[in-house]
Amino acid sequence: MRVLVILPSAASTNAGNPTLGSRKWLQTSLATLNIFPESAGGDIWYGPGIEFQLAPNQDPVVQMLLMVTDEDIAWLVIERIGKLMKWKFVDVNTGHELVH
């Protein structure tokens, strides 16, 4: 299974470290892409061919892990997420950043 780290691609607008956003904002934004938490407040979120793992109780979210669970559909979803959310994806095995 391929594992990617999701990181913000631009500096945060707030003073401090860049973030992906608040959990509430992420849930609302990712819902438009058919990605939802396993349960209310859950740390594992599922989407078409992918699974996100968030750090427990982290808000705002600094990074997430993304597991590719279905190679046939995951890459189109990942490409769309990258373009829409302005995130970068780094392969944990190779260290290479995926360009979207």
How many folded domains does the chain comprise? 1
Q: Is residue 5 part of a domain?
A: no
Q: Is residue 47 part of a domain?
A: yes
In this predicted structure, what is the pLDDT of residue 18? Answer: 87
Q: Is residue 52 part of a domain?
A: yes
Q: Is residue 8 part of a domain?
A: no
Domain residue limits at 54? 21-98
In this predicted structure, what is the pLDDT of residue 17? Answer: 77
Q: Are 92 and 66 contacting, i.e. CB atoms less than 8 angstroms apart?
A: no
Q: Is residue 59 part of a domain?
A: yes
- pLDDT tens by residue, 48-90: 999 999 999 999 999 999 999 999 999 999 999 988 998 999 9
In this predicted structure, what is the pLDDT of residue 12? Answer: 47
Q: Is residue 64 part of a domain?
A: yes
Identify the band that residue 5 occupies on the pLDDT scale cut at 50, 70 and 90. very high
